[in-house]
Structure 1
Amino acid sequence: MGEHSTIYYDIQGLVLRRGQPFSFTITFNQDLPVDKYNLSFIFKSQTWQNFPRVKIPLNGSSNGWSAKRLSTKDQENNCVYFQICSPCDATIGKYSLSLEVCPMNKDSINTHDLLVFQFHADIYILFNPWNKSDACGLLSADQITEYAFNEHGQIYLGSSEIPRSIPWYFGQFDRDVLLTALSLLNKTSLPTESRIDISLMLRLLASNICSDPGANDGIFPPSSDKPSSSHQENGYTSSPVILKQYLLSNGQSVQGGSGSNWQHAAVFCSLCRSLGIPSRIVTVYNATCEAQEKENINLHWNTGQRPIVVVNKKVTRPWYLWNECWMRRDDIPAQNSGWQVVDSSAIDYNTKIRRIGPCSVAALKSGSLTLKWDTPNIYNVLNANRSHWLVYPDGNKKLISTGQIQPHHDVHIDMEISQTLKLGDDLHIILKANNLSNEPRTLVVALKLIKLSSTLEIKPNSDKQHQDLHVAQSTNPAGINTSLQTPVQSSVQDFQLNVNERELNI
């Protein structure tokens, strides 16, 4: 179906986008005077349990569905051309279609007068990102191409300083991917009125990526109770390969470990795209594994300035991946629609409760933590505090610094410091900011220097030239120890800048 942009689906049947009409011809074994019969098309869901059938009278409508006869030139009497259109909020899934024919002049209809023709082809109705009235409607064709149609992508791991990518094949048009997505929706009985809620559908899909502890019915086995042990490599780089094994095992978890967090995100992305939901994978660097409340991440250093590994349940990963799905949400203020975070790996290891979203990206940025779903939990993953401790040989430790883990911004900053400073020279710090976004940004500058000993006096200089920061350094060299092998006790001092020095508009 080229008009519905579903021609790439490798599956037997008719794949359609909701909110968009489709046309077909029915050839009867005899002439059919349509004006003497009542014709109705009946759609019956094969995906959702206990779903009421949709009966659409010809040249009429039912619950937003409509059907009509189209006129064509040189049309034979036994060939009738029809058009059916589903509503923009039709329940997605697999349907069977039948045609009900009964005489129009009968006062009462019995089973002998009623004829039912069953169509043998399955019909799949999916979300429609091209239709702006659809909850998944996107604004541009480029976004649809990237987030709904792209079958190949790169997943970024590594670190924020040295990211590395691995290739992944999403294969959202593969038969096994679409059938898996629909089978996962069929596992849970939702009330009829909830089956048009895309937020609940995403929660259903995400909750079935990993099995719950003690179960084996998710795509991946349950993760270990320790978050630091939950990334088990299995070598998969293709969603169809994983999902084919899942279907062949009759819905039992694939073998080879619980999978990595990035594999969970990649498979979930494939399932969403197969249903027509625009989805992308987001890598979060320096994220916390567990977020029941405001987290504090403790980093320990020995007196040789080398990190000490401390094993506990609240750890910082170099990277953590989740998904963002595009949708309109009617359960929250309109400005919070758009991209929504969905975390298919998230689970509270104390309560065994999943914290998966969807959570508005706009709400995370504005700090609107009262909006559902799971917004406070996802917010804390991004906004943990990080404390640095100096650990002495006798086991005692001293707090060096603490502060919030800073997110990656769309402003690139380079700092230049002279490498030929002599004692007594002024320290000039030059900040070069490059705004990578399409909007104005305000750069807030804060100055923090570390005093290496009590004999080192550091004073801020209020003079400013070309938005440079000047710091005067004393000429007393007696207490300065620059050896990295023998660190001295240190303290941190903040310097207040004038308002006109603190904020730079770029």
Structure 2
Amino acid sequence: MEDFTIKNVSLENNENLEKHRTESFSNSKMAVVRRGAPFKVCLQLGGRPFNPKTDSLKIKVMLGRLFVVMRVTFSKKVSSSKWKAYIAPENVDLQNPSIFITSPASASVGCYRFQLCAFTQNRRKKTCASGKFVLLCNPWCPEDTVFIPFEDQREEYVLNDSGLLFMGTSMNPTSRPWSFDQYESDVLETCLSLLQISPQHQHNRRMDYLKRNNPVYISRVVSAMINSEDDRGVLKGNWSGDFKQGVHPSSWTGSGEILRQWAQTGHSPVKYGQCWVFAAVMCTVMRVLGIPCRIVTNFNSAHDTNDNLVIEEYYTETGQKLNCGKDSIWNFHVWVECWMARSDLGFGLDGWQVLDPTPQERSGGVFCCGPAPVKAIKNRGFELLYDVPFVYAEVNADVHSIVLSEGRMVSLAKDTERVGSFICTKAVGFSRMQNITGDYKNIKSPTATLRSTTSTSSEDSTLRRARLSKGVAASLTLDKYPVAGEPVCFTVKITNMQRVAKTMKVHINAQVKEYNHSPTNTLMESHGAIQLAPMEVKLIHQQILPVQYEDVVGDDLINLAVVLQDTSTQERVLAAEEFNIASPQLTIQIADEDSIIKNKKHAATVTFTNPYSHPVSGVLTVAGAGLIQSKVHFRMHPLRPGGRMQQEVIFNPRMAGTKMLQAGLSLKSINSTIRGFKMVFVNRA
């Protein structure tokens, strides 16, 4: 009888994809499996059947130059710390046997090669076959250090390919849709190449492969490789306002186009990114690698350059905020959290870890940040790895607001609650925010946890913005959340706290502000004087008209300040507020949205109503991972004030499950992009 040979070996089967929760990677050129769980290799033999008594099979698994050789057995007993290969004894087809390979739950992440060799009784090698597979972390495996115990969280933080980023201000957060695109063409391969391009791999490939078993190590490599400050990283940061050499950071809608551009240009940095773009791309890479990841926004995020946990802000005596000092407060800053065990730090620090790929400070000589345990940040574990003091300052620094007159300080106000006032992430399974401020810091009062999303005149808001002096108290509150097309109405409350009459000069100043910079141009100011009777309280009602602020709608903000000056004592009091003006929304409607089927065309209608006082025109862009192959663009002709635009969009879903259809309207006359999104559930058939 003709001796047996291995004619074919295959890893491409639906069983592996389904059991390893990697079916959405089905367009990858390689099989994608998760560590710590068995995957099936199908053999097709030629000649006589395999004889377990006289024949044997061995498998050599290779990652770079590292390898392990294992004999194929008939025992299903496996070890969580060793590679194992077996033929299931209860269902043996000796002509076309199926081999199950199990990797350790601590195996290194990467693209593996394997070689299967057959031996006859005299141990003479008869034939060999080879293949490749991608091994990822496994949040479903209790022995894996990235194991997260709840299925809804695994669905959200590993499998979900879309999400929301939160921006704006703490009192008026806005959401921005983002497509993580981890299942789009070539994204998996690009994320793996990111590890190969890293300086750690180029410097010592063997050591890099060995360390890739640890999500702490992987996350630091990825954090550094998302920015391009000291390596061939993915994104070039730009906060200058000049984006002519690349793409405005606000124009990006997903990670896939960024990662593909980086790969297609020979790993040249993509221009440009800012904090939310860095974080969103890192979230994609971590989810691809199997490490649970979510995006976090810290509102009023401090950058404390001198480590004194104090941020100084300076104003003129007429309320204009000055651009001086090295410390800064960003209205919002976006980073990621990854879920992992931290056996390197001892007991009690497992769980969410802060990682920040935005280049701000060096960590271990490299522009990266984390993983810093959230529990350590809350409990001031400054001696722990990595970067706990830096993140602690971002959420806990005090703010000193100083009024200068002829270079001399004439007023000082201290605020211990503004920094890190609201920290949030997307809720599991819902398109809304989840308040996680209490994970990072001890909440001082119940009102601090009840930050309203419908009113800015809450007691907490008013009290926090009250500025006291010996004789006068001042507070500044918005009457309601500012909305594009409507006046911004606000109230200055002035209280005479003494039993003597006072004459007060009142200076009000409103400036344009980017989220990460001090304010620049003044868009509104007023100067006047009022008389206060003993113990009198007066309210000054003011407004900023749409024609004054329309260029600020979108990502920019407004810094509003009032400075009071007692004409008799020359004492000054400052109250300030920073706010964003909510953009109008695009609405997306889908007919028969409950019966959307994979591989069948459907129609969506995007609607926009112009709230501005002048005609607007622009370009509408619609995208949706798994729904639309590539972005589609529509030119919008001038639309009169109050006018309505409707655009039909055809989409053909390629993937089942919940997907995001998103639209953005870039306006020509206003530096703003109007956005909208709709979650779409696609049935298999």
* TM-score, scaled to structure 1: 0.77
Q: Within 5 Å, give how 1:232-247 maps onto structure 2.
A: 233=249, 235-247=251-263
Corresponding residue for 2:523? none
Instruction: State the shift of 1:148 in Å.
Output: 0.9
Give secondary structure in 2 for the equivalent of 1:323: strand
Give secondary structure in 2 for the equivalent of 1:123: strand
Corresponding residue for 2:152? 142
> Structure 2 regions of 5+ residues with no counterpart?
1-16, 423-434, 438-444, 452-459, 474-494, 508-527, 530-563, 574-685
Q: Any idea what the Cα deviations from partners look like across 1:244-291, whole Å, max 9, x if unmatched?
A: 11111121112xx33111100000000000111110111111112454
Aligned counterpart for 2:388 among listed residues 360, 364, 375:
375
Matched residues in 2 for 1:251 and 1:27: separation? Answer: 40
Give secondary structure in 2 for the equivalent of 1:53: strand
Aligned counterpart for 2:501 among listed residues 472, 478, 500:
478
Aligned residue type for 1:270: T
Matched residues in 2 for 1:19 and 1:262: separation? Answer: 33
Q: Within 5 Å, give how 1:428-443 maps onto structure 2.
A: 433=447
Q: Within 5 Å, give how 1:199-210 maps onto structure 2.
A: 199-210=216-227
Corresponding residue for 2:187? 177
Q: 1:53 and 2:64 equivalent? A: no
* Residues 231/359 of structure 1: CA separation in 2 closer, same or farther (3 Å cut): farther
* Residues 436/386 of structure 1: CA separation in 2 closer, same or farther (3 Å cut): closer
Give secondary structure in 1 for the equivalent of 2:256: helix
Instruction: State the shift of 1:221 in Å.
Output: 2.5
Aligned residue type for 2:292: P
Corresponding residue for 2:112? 95
Whether contact under 8 Å (1:70, 1:82) holds in the other structure is yes
* Residues 433/260 of structure 1: CA separation in 2 closer, same or farther (3 Å cut): closer
Corresponding residue for 2:164? 154
Instruction: State the shift of 1:38 in Å.
Output: 2.7
Aligned counterpart for 1:297 among listed residues 302, 305, 311:
311
Whether contact under 8 Å (2:362, 2:368) holds in the other structure is no
Q: 1:288 and 2:302 equivalent? A: yes
Corresponding residue for 2:60? 42
Corresponding residue for 1:423? none
Matched residues in 2 for 1:123 and 1:294: separation? Answer: 50
Whether contact under 8 Å (2:471, 2:497) holds in the other structure is no
Q: 1:388 and 2:401 equivalent? A: yes
Aligned counterpart for 1:329 among listed residues 322, 342, 360:
342
Corresponding residue for 2:23? 7
Aligned counterpart for 2:360 among listed residues 337, 344, 347:
347
Instruction: State the shift of 1:36 in Å.
Output: 1.0
Corresponding residue for 1:110? none
Aligned counterpart for 1:168 among listed residues 178, 183, 191:
178
* Residues 452/228 of structure 1: CA separation in 2 closer, same or farther (3 Å cut): farther
* Residues 128/383 of structure 1: CA separation in 2 closer, same or farther (3 Å cut): same
Higher mean alpha-carbon deviation, 365-374 vs 352-361, is at 352-361
Q: 1:114 and 2:137 equivalent? A: no
Q: Any idea what the Cα deviations from partners look like across 1:206-237, whole Å, max 9, x if unmatched?
A: 11111125x6x21112557x899999536111
Q: Any idea what the Cα deviations from partners look like across 1:461-497, whole Å, max 9, x if unmatched?
A: xxxxxxxxxxx997824247495645225589xxxxx
Corresponding residue for 1:130? 140
Q: Within 5 Å, give how 1:436-455 maps onto structure 2.
A: 450-451=468-469, 453=471
Instruction: State the shift of 1:12 in Å.
Output: 2.0
Q: 1:357 and 2:388 equivalent? A: no
Aligned counterpart for 2:320 among listed residues 304, 307, 312:
307
Instruction: State the shift of 1:20 in Å.
Output: 0.8
Instruction: State the shift of 1:128 in Å.
Output: 0.8
Corresponding residue for 1:253? 269
Instruction: State the shift of 1:354 in Å.
Output: 2.1
* Residues 411/140 of structure 1: CA separation in 2 closer, same or farther (3 Å cut): closer
Matched residues in 2 for 1:350 and 1:103: separation? Answer: 55
Give secondary structure in 2 for the equivalent of 1:354: coil
Matched residues in 2 for 1:125 and 1:432: separation? Answer: 46
Give secondary structure in 1 for the equivalent of 2:105: coil
Corresponding residue for 1:67? 85
Instruction: State the shift of 1:399 in Å.
Output: 4.0
Q: 1:398 and 2:414 equivalent? A: no
Give secondary structure in 2 for the equivalent of 1:388: strand
Matched residues in 2 for 1:434 and 1:360: separation? Answer: 23
- Number of residue-to-residue matches in the alignment: 433
Corresponding residue for 1:21? 38
Matched residues in 2 for 1:253 and 1:400: separation? Answer: 44
Aligned residue type for 1:126: L
Matched residues in 2 for 1:185 and 1:349: separation? Answer: 20
Instruction: State the shift of 1:146 in Å.
Output: 1.1
Give secondary structure in 2 for the equivalent of 1:23: strand
Matched residues in 1 for 2:223 and 2:160: separation? Answer: 21
Aligned residue type for 1:373: Y
Instruction: State the shift of 1:341 in Å.
Output: 0.3
Matched residues in 2 for 1:375 and 1:340: separation? Answer: 10
Q: Any idea what the Cα deviations from partners look like across 1:405-454, whole Å, max 9, x if unmatched?
A: 44336699xxxxxxxxxxxxxxxxxx9849669xxxxx9x9998723539
Instruction: State the shift of 1:352 in Å.
Output: 6.9
Whether contact under 8 Å (1:287, 1:320) holds in the other structure is yes
Corresponding residue for 1:276? 290
* TM-score, scaled to structure 2: 0.58
Whether contact under 8 Å (1:355, 1:377) holds in the other structure is no
Whether contact under 8 Å (1:151, 1:172) holds in the other structure is yes
Aligned residue type for 1:315: S
Matched residues in 1 for 2:496 and 2:358: separation? Answer: 50
Instruction: State the shift of 1:95 in Å.
Output: 1.1
* Residues 128/135 of structure 1: CA separation in 2 closer, same or farther (3 Å cut): same
Corresponding residue for 2:542? none
Q: Any idea what the Cα deviations from partners look like across 1:20-46, whole Å, max 9, x if unmatched?
A: 11223312102221221231111112x
Matched residues in 1 for 2:363 and 2:374: separation? Answer: 26
Identity rate, percent: 24
Whether contact under 8 Å (2:161, 2:180) holds in the other structure is yes
Matched residues in 1 for 2:289 and 2:339: separation? Answer: 13
Whether contact under 8 Å (1:208, 1:218) holds in the other structure is yes
Higher mean alpha-carbon deviation, 191-200 vs 10-19, is at 191-200
Matched residues in 2 for 1:314 and 1:343: separation? Answer: 18
Matched residues in 2 for 1:349 and 1:402: separation? Answer: 29
Corresponding residue for 2:235? 220
Aligned residue type for 1:127: C
The structure carrying a bigger strand percent of its residues is 2
Matched residues in 2 for 1:327 and 1:408: separation? Answer: 26
Matched residues in 2 for 1:349 and 1:202: separation? Answer: 15
Aligned residue type for 1:244: R
Whether contact under 8 Å (1:272, 1:279) holds in the other structure is yes
> Structure 1 regions of 5+ residues with no counterpart?
107-112, 413-430, 438-442, 457-471, 493-506
Matched residues in 1 for 2:293 and 2:322: separation? Answer: 36
Matched residues in 2 for 1:238 and 1:476: separation? Answer: 61
Whether contact under 8 Å (2:316, 2:322) holds in the other structure is no
* Residues 348/171 of structure 1: CA separation in 2 closer, same or farther (3 Å cut): same
Aligned residue type for 2:264: L
Whether contact under 8 Å (1:180, 1:247) holds in the other structure is yes
Whether contact under 8 Å (1:210, 1:258) holds in the other structure is no
Matched residues in 2 for 1:353 and 1:27: separation? Answer: 50
Matched residues in 2 for 1:335 and 1:18: separation? Answer: 25
Matched residues in 2 for 1:358 and 1:127: separation? Answer: 17
